[in-house]
Amino acid sequence: MVKRLVLVLGDQLTMDLSALREADRSRDAVVMAEVHDEASYAWHHKKKIAFIFSAMRHFAEALRDDGWEVLYSRYDDAETGRSICAELMRRTRETGAEEVLATRCGEWRLREALENCPVKIRVLPDDRFIASAEEFAGWAEGRKQLRMEYFYREMRRKTGLLMEDGEPEGGEWNYDKENRKPAEPDLFMPKPMRHAHDDITEEVLALVRREFAENPGDLNDFWFAVDRRGARRAASKFMKEALPRFGDYQDAMLTGEDFLYHSVLSVYLNAGLLDPLELCAQAAAAYAAGDAPLNAVEGYIRQILGWREFVRGVYDLKGPEYGEGNFLGAERDLPDFYWTGETEMACLREAIGQTLREGYAHHIQRLMVTGTFALLAGVRPQAVHEWYLAIYADAYEWVELPNTFGMSQFADGGVVGSKPYAASGVYIDRMSDHCAGCKYDVKQKTGEGACPFNPLYWDFLIRNRAKLEDNPRMGQMYRTWERMDEDRQEASLDSARAVLAGL
C-alpha cells in the first residue's frame, strides 16, 4: 500500500522539490494531473498549455526513470477530475494513502483550494527561490516604500554575486544607464535554441489542437524545450551567443525581430526546469571569464535576483486581496485588438502579433507598449492582468500580477513602482523602428493622424491629476502642461477623446 502521495504541479518540475525530498520513493507515489480547472482558470495561449502539458509528461518520465511510482492523469482521460483537489481525493481513495505531501503552491488561488480540500495535506516551503517569503517580509517590515533596487542590493550581498570585498563589482550597483541603446536592423541577433518534437510533444500538440481550438494564440512552430536537459542547453546557448550584447539592447524593439538578445528562459525558469541561482552564477562566470561585459551581466542578473525575487515577495506579502486594487479608478474594457493584433498602431500590432505567434514578448514590449497603452487608455487593471496571465507562456500569477498591477498599471498606488510608467510616443520612437512604418505620425501631437500615445499621455495626466500631481516624479510633467496655451491643451484632450471613442 502507498503510504503517502506527493503532489507535483506543472510549475514545480524540479527534481529536488521540497515535497520530493521529504518523500520516500520506495513507498510513496507521485501524483501529477492535467486538470480542467488549471487549464481554464485563464484563457491560456495554446503554446502555454502545450508547453506545460508536454513538460509535465516529460518530467513524469524522468521521475519514473529515477525510481518513482507516478500516478499521472491526462487531460482527456475519462476518469481525470476537474481540479487538483478532485484528483487528490480520487488517488487517495485508490491507494489508501494516509497523507499528501505538497510544496507550497505559487498562487493564492490554488493555495486556498488545497486548504479547503478534504484530504490531509502537509505543505512544505517552496525553497526554489533565493529569498524566502519570510526573509522578504523581514526586509519589508517598517519600510514606507518597497523598492526593488534596495532589495536587489541585499540579494547581491547575500549571494556574493558581482561583489568584491563587500562592494559591487565596478563600483556601481546598477548599469541601466548603459543599457538603453536602440537596435539597428543590421545587428547580428542569435535566435533562441529551437527544440525538435518527440512523440510526447506531438501527442500534446494534437490534444491542444483538439481540446483548445478556441483559445488564443498560434500553435504552429512550437519550439520550446520541454525538459531540464533542453532548457539547460538553451541557457548555455544564450550565455555564449546573446548575453554579451543583452545589456546594450535589452530595451530595444525591432520590427520582425521577436527576440533580439533576450534569453527567453523565463518560460523554463518559472516552470521549475531551470534554477534561478544557477542562471545567475552562469552569467557571473561569463563576466569573470571575460566573455560578457559587466553592464550585460549585471542587467541580466538583476532581472532574476532583483525583479523576479522582488515581485514574488510582494505577491506573498500582500496576500490574495492585492489583485483587487484600482488606485486610478480605471474602468475601460480591454480593446479587442489585444486578442487579435488587428490595429493600425504599428508598435501594438508588432508586440501583440508576436505575442500571439510565440506566447512571448520581452519586458519593454510588455511594459512600454501593451502596458502603457492600457494605462493611458484607462483600461480596468483586472482586465489587463487577465490578458497578461493568459497570453504569455511564462505567466503565473505570482510573477505576473505584481508586474501588471504594480509596475505596469499603477493599480496598487505605488507599492511596486514609484510612479506610473506613462509615456508618449517619443519613447517608442527612440527605442524602436516601429514608428517609421506606422499609419500614425509620432511627431504629430494632436489631430487626425497623430500618434494616439501623444494625446492619451496628457489625457491620462489630467484625468488622474488629483492622485498624481503631488508625486515628486510627476510634478515636472504637470508644470509642462501648465505652460501650454489653452488651445493646445484643448486640442490634446479633444484628440484623446476621439482616440478613446474609437476603442
The residue among 321, 337, 311, 360 whose CA lies nearest residue 452 is 337
Which residue matches cell numbers 506543472?
10
Joined together, the cell numbers standing for residue 261 give: 538578445
Residue 88 in contact with residue 49, Cβ under 8 Å? no
Strand bridging mode 163-164 / 167-168: antiparallel
How far is 346 from 428, CA to CA, in rounded Å?
10
Cβ 31 vs Cβ 6: under 8 Å: yes
The pLDDT tens digits along the chain (503 residues) read 789 999 999 999 999 999 999 999 999 999 999 999 999 999 999 999 999 999 999 999 999 999 999 999 999 999 999 999 999 999 999 999 999 999 999 999 999 999 999 999 999 999 999 999 999 999 999 998 899 999 999 999 999 999 999 999 999 999 988 888 887 776 667 899 999 999 999 999 999 999 999 999 999 999 999 999 999 999 999 999 999 999 999 999 999 999 999 999 999 999 999 999 999 999 999 999 999 999 999 999 999 999 999 999 999 999 999 999 999 999 999 999 999 999 999 999 999 999 999 999 999 999 999 999 999 999 999 999 999 999 999 999 999 999 999 999 999 999 999 999 999 999 999 999 999 989 999 999 999 999 999 999 999 999 999 999 999 999 999 999 999 999 999 999 999 999 999 99
The length of the chain is 503
DSSP-assigned beta bridge partners for residue 5? 29, 100
Question: Quick one: pLDDT at residue 357?
Answer: 97
- Backbone φ and ψ for 74, nearest 5 degrees, come out as -85, 155
Which of 107, 43, 56, 55 has its CA nearest to residue 356? 43
- Return the SS3 of 393: coil
Paired residues of 332 in beta bridges: 379
Give the pLDDT confidence of 61-100 residue by residue, as tens digits.
999 999 999 999 999 999 999 999 999 999 999 999 999 9
Question: Is-contact 109 397, C-beta < 8 A?
Answer: yes
DSSP codes of every residue in 197-264: --HHHHHHHHHHHHH-TTSSS--SS-----SHHHHHHHHHHHHHHTHHHHHHHTT-BBTTBS-TT---
- Which residue type sits at 128? R
User: What nine digits make up the cell of 365?
Assistant: 514590449
Cβ–Cβ < 8 Å for 161, 305: yes
pLDDT of amino acid 186? 65
- Residue 334's Cβ-side half-sphere holds a number of Cα atoms within 13 Å equal to 18
Nearest to 400 by CA among 499, 348, 460, 323: 323
CATH numbers and ranges of domains, the chain:
4-124 (3.40.50.620), 133-192+223-318 (1.25.40.80), 337-502 (1.10.579.10)
Residue 65 corresponds to which amino acid? D
> How far is Cα 61 from Cα 72, in angstroms, rounded to an integer?
10
Query: What pLDDT was estimated at residue 176?
Result: 86
**What HEC string does 266-327 produce?**
HHHHHHCCCCHHHHHHHHHHHHHCCCCCHHHHHHHHHHHHHHHHHHHHHHHHHCHHHHHCCC
Residue 171 DSSP one-character state:
G
Question: What pLDDT is stored for residue 457 in this prediction?
Answer: 98
CA 93 vs CA 2, 9, 81, 497: distances in Å: 11, 20, 13, 60
pLDDT in tens, 394-408: 999 999 999 999 999
Closest-CA residue to 395 (of 10, 7, 8)? 10
User: Could you write out the DSSP letters of every residue in 323-369?
Assistant: GG--TT---BPPPTHHHH---S-HHHHHHHHHHHHHS---HHIIIII
- Residues of the chain with pLDDT > 90, as a percent, come to 96
Q: What is the pLDDT of residue 177?
A: 85
Which helix (DSSP H) or strand (DSSP E) does residue 492 occupy?
A: helix 486-502
Number of Cβ atoms within 10 Å of the Cβ of 202: 12
pLDDT of residue 281: 98
Closest CA to 38 of 62, 5, 11, 19: 11
pTM for the model stands at 0.96
> Which residues have CB under 8 Å from 420's CB, separation 6+?
328, 375, 409, 410, 460, 464, 468, 474
Residue 187 pLDDT: 63
Phi-psi region of 442 (alpha: psi -120 to 50; beta: other; left: phi over 0): alpha
